[in-house]
Amino acid sequence: MKPLDFLKRQELIQGKLQSQNIDMLMIPPSINFFYMFKGYLQLSERLICGIIDRNEDSIIIAPSFEKENMKIQTTFDDVITWKEEEDPYIILKQALSYEPKKIALEPSTPFNVYTRLKKQFPSAEFVDGGLFLNELRTIKTEAEVQRMIQAAEHTAEGITKTLDSIKEGQTELEILKLAQKQLSNLSGEMSWFLVQIDENSAVPHGKPSNKKLKKNSVVLIDAGTTCDHYFADITVTSVHGNASEEFLKVYAIVEEANNAALEKSKAGVPAEEVDFAARGVIEKARYGEYFTHRLGHGLGLQVHEEPYIVKGNREPLVKGNVHTDEPGIYIPGKFGIRIEDDVLVQEKSKRLVEFDRYLWK
């Protein structure tokens, strides 16, 4: 696969800082740190921070015992270090060549990091750097799309193999373990899962339980694995045996909604219209009250990121966006059906992976 171009991204951010008159963007370990500086680091209580300056080269500050580790894991070949007994925020202030007036913070920066920065830079204005980070991240390059296709293929294969192998009497938690095994064998990376049986499937985001699979149970698996940290997010709803008439009726509506959204999705179309396309189908079939969430969300280094496919988001989709298309109908006490694909926005948008979803008899 093509390498990701971290330095190019840093340059693009510099341009945005200059145009918005912001001195620097500070990025503690986070998804955005990985996006900018390559290292996939855990946020901890010890300050690590990558800083993109509007004019100067990017710098990083990290604990001194992590110096070699930072040089191996990130794009930096030098590291400003602080010792365990020092206040890293004072060291950071001393390391800067000037007093910044306007600082953008990576949006997930913890409040207690912000308050300590604010103490060192009391007259600086702090703004949310999420906007221009998202401007970059929402437009996937070919190298990123390659990774996401790989992740989507592994996810679809892992889910369908799991559904092919499950047996009556197995619990949601047991099926989750089977899915975990399938996906980690395929991708070798991390994965996440929801497994819901029968009436549990009617609760979006419900946790897996000891509920058992029965003959003709509805079973919903919502899962994703990663490729080089880029996520897939796919939901398959199936039946373990024979599908009831009611299931087939509702399934056809959700499927039509999913297809309608895909048809609507293309560069230039306001995001909310893609939601409306699917919702219209479901409302027309008189199931509108059971479609309780937005149609979808952007996908990439996070399972949920911009653009959100939701009423009120009138921003037009852009070529290179990747978003989920996941209409659902949830009938309390009975079952829920969600069909979720990952869609790449182009002149005519397309699914990252196509696969056979009809696993019942």
Residues contributing to the site for a copy of itself (CB under 8 A): 44-46, 63-66, 68-69, 72-73, 84-85, 105-112, 114-115, 126, 128, 130, 203-207, 292-294, 297, 304-305, 308, 310-312
CB-facing half-sphere around the CA of 222: CA atoms within 13 A: 23
For the record, the structure tokens of 22 come out as: 């912001």
| Least separation in angstroms between CB 232 and a copy of itself | 17
| Least separation in angstroms between CB 327 and a copy of itself | 13
- Nearer of residues 336 and 357 to a copy of itself, judged by Cβ: 336
The answer to whether the beta carbons of residues 187 and 227 sit under 8 Å apart is: yes
- Nearer of residues 1 and 203 to a copy of itself, judged by Cβ: 203
| Least separation in angstroms between CB 115 and a copy of itself | 5
- Nearer of residues 45 and 77 to a copy of itself, judged by Cβ: 45
Residues 211, 203: Cα–Cα separation, whole Å: 14
- Nearer of residues 85 and 142 to a copy of itself, judged by Cβ: 85
The answer to whether the beta carbons of residues 238 and 216 sit under 8 Å apart is: no
- Nearer of residues 160 and 180 to a copy of itself, judged by Cβ: 180
Within 10 A of 246 (CB to CB), how many other CB atoms are there? 11
Within 10 A of 79 (CB to CB), how many other CB atoms are there? 19
Burial class from Cβ neighbours inside 10 Å (0-12, 13-18, 19+) for residue 103 reads buried
CA atoms 99, 101, 106, 108: torsion sign: positive
| Least separation in angstroms between CB 230 and a copy of itself | 18
| Least separation in angstroms between CB 98 and a copy of itself | 23
